[in-house]
Structure 1
């Protein structure tokens, strides 16, 4: 979900190759939800191994990370911690939507509506403790660092961009801009031709880049004013003001200067306003200054993905070969120097 300020933002089409040489923080839960939703079998169910264990997340983390590494982009994954207490209403709303989808799915199953079953199944995803621990184990085997955020994973990922530890954040959510991320890379882990949920239509998804400084300067507002706009529109921590979208919010902030003046003029109020603003300005994060990247553990990856979960050993070895070639061009010692 997140904040909907897309309508006032400047975005540029980009590509993975155009971003070669950078380090990125990845909003782990954000992309894992994408993997669970889109990496599925013909029956609409998530991919599973022979023991019935879900493997969509492992497939997504491995192949998408490999694509980044092959293009000389180093990812560090940021995992959600305990949800911030003001997020409780958003979580309730998400649960209500999921319960509704489950009820509709049961009806579709009873009616043997195959197409509806596929569409509804893709909307019902759970990031369990096992999925998190399995993803972290695979990242360890790939030599990729991950960070356990004390609270919001996107805040942690944004902090690492804000302080210069990484160049950009990979996430679909614009909240990262409110948290101060210098650049957001969207559609970077799931791109290409994608089917619209609930329809027979397909759309082309293109990676795009959003630069915070460019947007603030072009729009003519400060970082705090951008946060004010987001709060007026509604975030994961507050419902916003009815009837105020991104463009209206921008107009009001430019006219009255800040959210306090807007609320006073309109006769509205927002509960916990100061706390929400402080959360975006100074969220709880781990103070990560240096990242440790290591060469992939080929034997460990083969044992885990192929031995335990039935992935194709030939394909996994082929991908690992490509990762090594992209960094060495010659030999293992060059790969060691890179990491």
Structure 2
């Protein structure tokens, strides 16, 4: 969801760019945002339990595009559910279940279009789906990390450590986290919109030039975000005016509490304070020391931190602290982020076997630096540092058509339609140019045509039965055209 109403007001400072602007630089990717986009096109299969890999094809196609323009991708997937998002996740789960039941009902009624629309809202992205994609990415030599909790916080931490130069996402939360450069709405060709933090002060009607990071986060919280539903009747512009005037959480809450226009409960201060700390101090994974750390250094002198520690000594609302071994397994993709169990997919090979002696993730087929055989990408060197260029790959791989399954009707109908066009041309040459005559020529051509025998041999009995829908069977075995405006077989 992100911050409600924030992206539309930032549209004037959105810069249309091409991803080639970040050539030879490392760019972070919110993996779940691409998984959601990829699952949108195969929602029917995912919601009905049909095996599909189209969401993986979507993801890999985008990664290949980045590699083509020498951009070094760093993919981060979401981990376990953050306690602060329990209310938001409950609402989303309820919504998905409602649309799933509605989609199944419409599917039984053969209302295909409406059913697919419901399934697109009901599709659920799981850690197993992320695991399957990550195995393909690791084989390509792509850096992949599973965040302990929110991928947004993990990407923000990578930006603060200067390990990535920008982030590709669809979530406006990264603005509240303080990421410098964010790329939104990136298409398959690499075109997108860039929002730079340095330009926030140029937004008309929303002066943010004198806003501190705490003020920007507080504005996002009272307007509505994933960690707090917001104050009813309070939009992003009104939230900006209030924070600009009162500046701190205590003074903003006092104003909202004493204003009859807004419905604020006493426990809302506690919820807003936790949301503010979650934006600042959420727990992330530090791959250098292989353990969980805070997003920014915890300030013990901060009165807010002191107050929250008195209520929760371990600050579990920032993400419960995990043992180092569990945190490593989750980050490397070996362990399920919620159950801590070894993730298994449909393949017979256990994903836990894809570890070397040091416990680092390796490709299930070959090491990262080894050249891929067959039709895969040829990776000659891994990306190990921020200054490294993109791995060299075979350019021809980008121009190979993806392998997709074709519907039976599309295989058979192509030669039939060519014959129909030929029959129409013959009718026109004979002077039969009326719409009715051409329509009859189409019917006649359908009755005369026979499907290609090589195609029929590849079809099942059920599929062959469907071919009758495409044939035109004349009444009483007659092969003549209809009488009105046409000719019979004797030329009368």
Q: Same fold (TM over 0.5)?
A: yes
Offset of residue 163 of structure 1: 2.3
Offset of residue 297 of structure 1: 4.8
Distance in 2 of aligned mates of 1:148 and 1:47: 24
SS at match of 2:284: coil
Residue 322 in 1 paired to residue 395 in 2?
A: yes
- Given candidates 15, 32, 45, the residue that maps to 1:12 is 15
What TM-score do you get using the length of structure 1 for normalisation? 0.77
Residue 209 in 1 paired to residue 282 in 2?
A: no
Residue 282 in 1 paired to residue 285 in 2?
A: no
Offset of residue 300 of structure 1: 7.9
* 1:299 equivalent in structure 2: 373
Change over 3 Å in CA distance of 1:113–1:52 after alignment to 2: closer
Deviations 1:134-183 (A, max 9, x none): 11111110100111211111110121122211001111001011122111
SS at match of 2:283: coil
Please list every run of at least 4 consecutive aligned residues from structure 1 whose deviation after the TM superposition is greater than 3 angstroms.
Answer: 44-48, 268-271, 292-297, 300-303
Distance in 1 of aligned mates of 2:193 and 2:114: 31
- Given candidates 105, 111, 119, the residue that maps to 1:107 is 105
Gaps of 5+ in 2: 258-263, 290-360, 362-366, 378-391, 399-492
Residue 139 in 1 paired to residue 120 in 2?
A: no
Distance in 2 of aligned mates of 1:65 and 1:191: 10
* 2:220 equivalent in structure 1: 230
- Given candidates 148, 167, 170, the residue that maps to 1:169 is 167
Distance in 1 of aligned mates of 2:374 and 2:146: 22
Offset of residue 223 of structure 1: 1.3
* 2:443 equivalent in structure 1: none
Distance in 2 of aligned mates of 1:296 and 1:28: 25
Change over 3 Å in CA distance of 1:52–1:273 after alignment to 2: closer
- Given candidates 97, 122, 125, the residue that maps to 2:123 is 125
Residue 30 in 1 paired to residue 33 in 2?
A: yes
Distance in 2 of aligned mates of 1:86 and 1:323: 47
* 1:196 equivalent in structure 2: none
Change over 3 Å in CA distance of 1:68–1:323 after alignment to 2: farther
What TM-score do you get using the length of structure 2 for normalisation? 0.54
Quick one: higher RCO (CA 8 Å, sep 6+), 1 or 2? Answer: 1
Task: Compare 18-27 and 226-235 and name the one that shifted more.
Answer: 18-27
Offset of residue 111 of structure 1: 2.1
- Alignment root-mean-square deviation, CA: 3.1
Offset of residue 129 of structure 1: 3.4
- Given candidates 64, 67, 84, the residue that maps to 1:69 is 67
Change over 3 Å in CA distance of 1:216–1:300 after alignment to 2: farther
* 1:262 equivalent in structure 2: 252
Offset of residue 83 of structure 1: 1.5
Change over 3 Å in CA distance of 1:67–1:282 after alignment to 2: same
SS at match of 2:152: helix
* 1:97 equivalent in structure 2: 95
